[in-house]
Amino acid sequence: MADRLDYIEFPSTSRERSSAFFQAAFGWGIVSYGPVYDGLTGAGIDGGIDAAPERVAATMAVVRTDDLDAAEQRVVSAGGVITRAQFDFPGGRRFHCREPGGNELAVYVERAA
């Protein structure tokens, strides 16, 4: 499966308060990855809470792919706009894009083992 919805990120102005909410309201587990990012566990899909200053403004779906360059070409060919060029992050490499209806997505490839 080359491209699949794999992750969801929630932007937050308070990582601590958002994490506490998801834990108390839904019983999801929290894994801290530092002062601006927590991972979510047990939510049915992997996810995270992003409190970094450069976080996106709305909840963002994340698509996993096998070939990041090919996925980027498909996104642009289909009418998408790249909103953040490819960059490295702890789990691999990704870019952000906006589909024609206005939703921002991230597309990533896992770091090779």
Domain ranges across the chain:
4-110
Task: Look at residue 91 in the predicted model and tell me its pLDDT.
Answer: 86
Residue ranges for the chain with pLDDT beneath 70: 1, 113
Q: What's the pTM value of the predicted model, to 2 decimals?
A: 0.85
Task: Look at residue 112 in the predicted model and tell me its pLDDT.
Answer: 79
Q: Where does 4-110 sit in CATH, by number?
A: 3.10.180.10
What mean pLDDT, rounded, does the chain reach? 93
Separation between Cα atoms, residue 109 and residue 93, nearest integer Å? 6
Task: Look at residue 2 in the predicted model and tell me its pLDDT.
Answer: 76
Task: Look at residue 80 in the predicted model and tell me its pLDDT.
Answer: 94
Q: How far is C-alpha 73 from the chain's CA centre?
A: 19
Task: Let me know: does 107 contact 95? Beta carbons within 8 Å.
Answer: yes
Task: Look at residue 1 in the predicted model and tell me its pLDDT.
Answer: 55
